């Protein structure tokens, strides 16, 4: 069921709440663009009008929903993102940088909520038409430090960020477990450091990966 992905590449940035994904993805996109790459920066849940609407529903602290309904909302946003944004950009040969993607569902809904990982993997495959990331940067930070950053930025909560610390610890352990299972694709970066140091490491990983891709083609 592999999607027709064209000549582009899909890079994803993952990690717990407040790990610094958005900060890193923006800086990386700027530097890679300056280096001559055609970069498409996007995010989940969101990236399309439908995705943005679904995002506000799934994160709304006033709404109650089951863990599977939460999952279906993330998957619906992903399916729209893949079809309307990721595949067209990849077919156009762009370097697509997505702030969150399939690993977030495994970490949050699988490890965090306790839903069946096998089923989540199958649903991810369906929602993405088999489009998997070429490279993933996992920003690793303790949940306490990540949540302190998001709470310092804003007192407004959301359904998932407001979950208890035990949930965020399971998510963090889940991301680490995914990285150890797929060390070739998922590269871990210590995100507890200054944003500049995180960027330096991430850029080195991406450049090394791009060099390998060029020499293989």
Please report, as ranges, the residues that interact with ligand T5A according to CB under 6 A. Answer: 15, 17-23, 44-45, 59, 74, 100, 104-105, 108-109, 149-150, 153, 160-161, 194-195, 198
Nearer to ligand T5A among residue 11 and residue 198 (C-beta): 198
Nearest-approach distance from CB 141 to ligand T5A, in angstroms: 8
CB of 108 to ligand T5A, least distance (A): 3
Residue number with CB closer to ligand T5A (6 or 169): 169
Which residue lies nearer to ligand T5A by CB, 6 or 53? 53
Taking the least distance from each CB to ligand T5A, the nearer of 36 and 100 is 100
Report the nearest approach of ligand T5A to the CB of residue 195 (Å). 4
HEC readout, the chain: CCCCCCCCEEEEEEECCCCCHHHHHHHHHHHHHHCCCCEEEEECCCCCHHHHHHHHHHHCCCCCCCHHHHHHHHHHHHHHHHHHHHHHHHHCCCEEEEECCHHHHHHHHHHHCCCCHHHHHHHHHHHHCCCCCCEEEEEECCHHHHHHHHHHHCCCCCCCCCCCHHHHHHHHHHHHHHHHHCCCCEEEEECCCCHHHHHHHHHHHHHHHHHHHHHHC
Q: Please, which residue, 23 or 134, has the CB nearer to ligand T5A? A: 23
In whole angstroms, the minimum distance from the beta carbon of 36 to ligand T5A comes to 25
- Minimum CB separation of residue 59 from ligand T5A in Å reads 6
């Amino acid at each position: 069921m592999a999607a027709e992905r064209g000549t582009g590449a899909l890079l994803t940035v993952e990690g717990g709440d407040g790990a610094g994904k958005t900060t890193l993805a923006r800086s990386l996109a700027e530097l890679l663009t300056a280096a001559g790459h055609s970069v498409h920066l996007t995010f989940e849940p969101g990236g399309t009008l439908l995705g943005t609407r679904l995002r506000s529903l799934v994160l709304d602290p006033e709404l109650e929903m089951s863990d599977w309904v939460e999952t279906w909302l993330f998957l619906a946003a992903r399916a729209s993102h893949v079809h309307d944004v990721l595949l067209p950009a990849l077919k156009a040969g762009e370097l697509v940088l997505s702030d969150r993607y399939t690993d977030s569902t495994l970490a949050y809904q699988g490890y965090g909520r306790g839903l069946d990982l096998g089923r989540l993997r199958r649903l991810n495959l369906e929602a993405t038409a088999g489009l998997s990331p070429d490279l993933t940067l996992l920003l690793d930070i303790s949940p306490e430090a990540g949540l302190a950053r998001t709470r310092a930025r804003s007192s407004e909560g959301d359904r998932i960020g407001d979950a208890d610390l035990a949930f965020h610890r399971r998510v963090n352990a889940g991301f680490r477990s995914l990285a150890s299972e797929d060390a070739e694709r998922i590269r871990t970066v210590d995100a507890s450091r200054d944003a500049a140091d995180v960027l330096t490491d991430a850029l080195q990983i991406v450049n090394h990966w791009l060099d390998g891709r060029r020499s293989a083609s």
